[in-house]
């Protein structure tokens, strides 16, 4: 929304009034309205289009919106084939898939490829950059989701004999980390990896679809099998080879500048908006 406004576009947020997003939007001077069917019906004619960013927003916009709808899709699980789901998805003029992998899931669910745009996430280039420390902590995501592979990370830590810092605040905990370990069994993209790459922290991640679109294996990150021994070996390889770590960091920064800036995100989003409006 900040980037859209800087480009001259007016935005209004419909969201939960007790959420962090609402607070941030309000602090940045955006018009914010509690999300409801009535709010969608009432506010949508004041704007050219609606952009839904989660399943609830998609439902509200499909039911009550009165202008073209763009829907972001970030998750890797299949689309339901129920009648209600098919109707809801038919209401969208465009879909913004966060990766080629997610775009494929949309197509498999019956969405015409001509209605799908791939728009990658972005990281603000002004975010703090860390001084890489090969002996710093290994940071991984704190999660209870069995698909995210915490059990594999814990076993790998035992094999490597290196403790893992499970983080709920990556921006803070990645500072001076030796690497970011992103192990998952299913991932739509991997925005947390972008944050680490932007901060100058080497990334070791599962070699699965979605995640492999964030970095180039062996160039701007290391892809590993979801096997504790392989994960442990990759951790030790980065920590014991400063030259490798520095190369991964330099190449990751290049990749960020080439693909994942806010200007890339803005251009892709506006192009999709124009298509939704028939332009």
Environment class of residue 95 by beta-carbon count within 10 Å: exposed (0-12), middle (13-18) or buried (19+)?
A: buried
- Calpha distance 252→279 (Å, rounded): 35
Percentage of the chain surpassing pLDDT 90? 90
- Calpha distance 187→195 (Å, rounded): 16
- State the pLDDT at residue 127: 60
For residue 81, pLDDT beyond 90:
no
User: CA nearest 29: which of 46, 6, 45?
Assistant: 6
Percentage of the chain surpassing pLDDT 70? 98
The neighbouring-strand residues paired with 206 are 224
Q: Contact at 8 Å (CB) between 188 and 260?
A: no
- State the pLDDT at residue 166: 97
Locus of tokens 């096997």: 227
- CB burial string 27-37: b at 16+ within 10 A, e below: eeebebbebee
Q: SS3 sequence, 209-230?
A: CCHHHCCCECCCEEEECCCHHH
Query: Domain boundaries in the chain?
Result: 2-122+261-276, 138-259
pLDDT in tens, 88-137: 999 999 999 999 999 999 999 999 999 999 999 998 766 666 678 899 99
Environment class of residue 270 by beta-carbon count within 10 Å: exposed (0-12), middle (13-18) or buried (19+)?
A: middle
When pLDDT is averaged across residues 214-236 and rounded to a whole number, the result is: 97
For the whole model, what pTM was predicted?
Answer: 0.92
Count of other CB atoms within 10 angstroms of residue 38: 12
Task: Report long-range pairs for 28-31 (Cβ below 8 Å, ≥24 apart).
Answer: 28/1, 28/2, 30/1, 30/5
Q: Contact at 8 Å (CB) between 241 and 63?
A: no
pLDDT in tens, 30-73: 999 999 999 999 999 999 999 999 999 999 999 999 999 999 99
- State the pLDDT at residue 132: 85
Mean pLDDT (the chain, rounded): 94
User: Which H helix or E strand runs over 105?
Assistant: helix 100-108
**DSSP letters for 10-40:** --EEEE-TTSHHHHHHHHTT-EEEE--HHHH
- State the pLDDT at residue 131: 76
Residue 61: which residues within 8 A CB-CB, separation 6 or more? 40, 44, 50, 52, 69, 71, 91
For residue 177, pLDDT beyond 70:
yes
- State the pLDDT at residue 278: 94
For residue 206, pLDDT beyond 90:
yes
Superfamily of domain 138-259: Glycogen Phosphorylase B; (3.40.50.2000)
Max CA-CA distance within the chain?
59
User: CA nearest 139: which of 106, 113, 104, 177?
Assistant: 177
Q: Does domain 2-122+261-276 have CATH number 3.40.50.2000?
A: yes
């Amino acid at each position: 929304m900040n980037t859209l406004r800087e480009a001259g576009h007016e935005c209004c947020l419909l969201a939960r009034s007790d959420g962090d997003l609402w607070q941030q939007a309000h602090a940045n001077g955006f018009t914010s309205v509690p999300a409801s069917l009535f709010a969608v019906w009432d506010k949508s004619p004041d704007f050219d289009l609606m952009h839904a960013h989660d399943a609830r927003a998609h439902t509200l916009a499909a039911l009550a919106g009165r202008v073209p709808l763009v829907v972001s899709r970030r998750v890797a699980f299949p689309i339901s084939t129920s009648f209600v789901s098919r109707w809801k998805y038919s209401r969208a003029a465009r879909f913004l898939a966060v990766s080629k992998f997610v775009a494929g899931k949309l197509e498999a669910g019956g969405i015409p490829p001509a209605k799908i745009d791939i728009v990658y996430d972005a990281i603000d280039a002004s975010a703090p950059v860390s001084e890489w420390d090969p002996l710093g902590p290994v940071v991984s995501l704190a999660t209870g989701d069995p698909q995210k592979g915490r059990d594999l990370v814990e076993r790998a830590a035992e094999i490597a004999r290196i403790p893992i810092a499970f983080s709920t605040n990556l921006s803070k905990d990645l500072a001076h980390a030796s690497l970011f370990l992103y192990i998952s069994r299913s991932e739509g993209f991997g925005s947390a990896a972008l944050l680490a790459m932007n901060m100058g922290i080497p990334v070791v991640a599962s070699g699965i679809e979605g995640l492999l679109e964030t970095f180039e294996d062996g160039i701007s990150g290391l892809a590993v099998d979801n096997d504790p021994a392989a994960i442990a070996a990759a951790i030790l390889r980065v920590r014991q080879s400063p030259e490798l770590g520095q190369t991964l960091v330099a190449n990751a920064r290049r990749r960020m500048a080439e693909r994942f800036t806010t200007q890339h995100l803005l251009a892709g989003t506006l192009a999709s908006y124009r298509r939704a409006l028939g332009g």
